[in-house]
Amino acid sequence: MIEQREHFQKELAKLNDLILKMGGMVEKSIFNSVEALKKSDAKMADQVIKLDDGIDKLELEIDELCLELLATQQPMAIDLRFITTGMRIASDIERIGDLAVDIALRAFELSKQPLLKPLEDIPKMAELAEKMVHRALDSFVKRDAAMARGLWADEEKADGYRDLIHDELVGIMTKDPSTISRALPLILIARHLERIADHTTNIGEDVVYMVEGKVIKHAPK
């Protein structure tokens, strides 16, 4: 019985490790996709796209591990919620990876023309998004609801960046419509980053539910 429990704990630790590994990979993808944008570096953008396969594979590995744990260990209460939350989180991280790919695709497209302007807010917003991914996954492995709740304020900041970037670029396009093909992808990139932030708050909500058994999803924050 004790042996079985030890085995179970080891498997849960493995789940932690896989989630953190996957998180590290998408943080890097976000960073590199925006670096590719800043430097008009088509090669770097291409690398982000290629590395997404590895992220996808990790999601499948996590799914398999969770299904196996559910089938063989009949976990209860917090352990059951930890495992089902792990599956959900893996799916959120995978989608964050897809959004980094979306940014890289725009960076690739933009690398063929001169940048519209030196980028300021997009790199800051990307840094915020990376920080949020890190915090969200940290709150999961530490089962720390307070840490997860810290994400709400960051999400508001991300929304602010998105609106700021949107308004500035619409102003530029309106003044000079020849800039549209270079401005529109930047508007979309700000939206991709905002969706990354949004996924991290989904993770945060799941963590609070896991720890406190309290549903805060869809409740006013």
Q: How far apart are CA 141 and CA 3, in angstroms?
A: 23
In the complex with a second copy, which residue's Cβ is closer, 127 or 179?
179
Tokens of 94: 């995978």
Least gap, CB of 80 to a second copy (angstroms): 6
- Does 80 sit near a second copy (CB under 8 A)? yes
Exactly one of 21, 28, 39, 81 binds a second copy (CB under 8 A); that residue is 81
Least gap, CB of 217 to a second copy (angstroms): 7
For residue 43, give the amino acid letter.
K
Q: Using an 8 Å Cβ cutoff, are 128 and 195 in contact?
A: no
In the chain, the largest separation of any two C-alpha atoms, in whole Å, equals 72
| Binding segment toward a second copy, per CB under 8 A, in 35-43, 54-62, 104-112, 148-156 | 54-62
- Does 173 sit near a second copy (CB under 8 A)? yes
End-to-end CA distance of the chain: 43
| Binding segment toward a second copy, per CB under 8 A, in 35-43, 76-84, 105-113, 140-148 | 76-84
- Does 177 sit near a second copy (CB under 8 A)? yes
Least gap, CB of 26 to a second copy (angstroms): 14
In the complex with a second copy, which residue's Cβ is closer, 4 or 174?
174
- Does 70 sit near a second copy (CB under 8 A)? yes
Number of residues that bind a second copy (CB under 8 A): 33
Exactly one of 49, 91, 116, 131 binds a second copy (CB under 8 A); that residue is 91
For residue 60, give the amino acid letter.
L
- Does 76 sit near a second copy (CB under 8 A)? yes
Please write down the long-range contacts of 194-198, taking CB distance under 8 Å and 24 or more positions apart.
194/125, 194/158, 194/159, 194/161, 194/162, 195/99, 196/30, 196/96, 196/99, 196/100, 196/129, 196/132, 196/133, 197/128, 197/129, 197/132, 197/154, 197/155, 197/158, 197/159, 198/155, 198/158
Q: How far apart are CA 158 and CA 198, in angstroms?
A: 9
| Buried-exposed string 81-115: b where 16+ CB fall within 10 A, e elsewhere | bbbbbbbbbbbbbbbbbbbbbbbbbbbbebbeeee
Exactly one of 67, 78, 146, 164 binds a second copy (CB under 8 A); that residue is 67
| Binding segment toward a second copy, per CB under 8 A, in 29-37, 123-131, 142-150, 187-195 | 187-195
Residues that bind a second copy (CB under 8 A): 53, 56-57, 59-60, 66-67, 70-71, 74, 76-77, 80-81, 84, 87-88, 91, 170, 173-175, 177-178, 180-181, 184, 187-188, 191, 215, 217-218
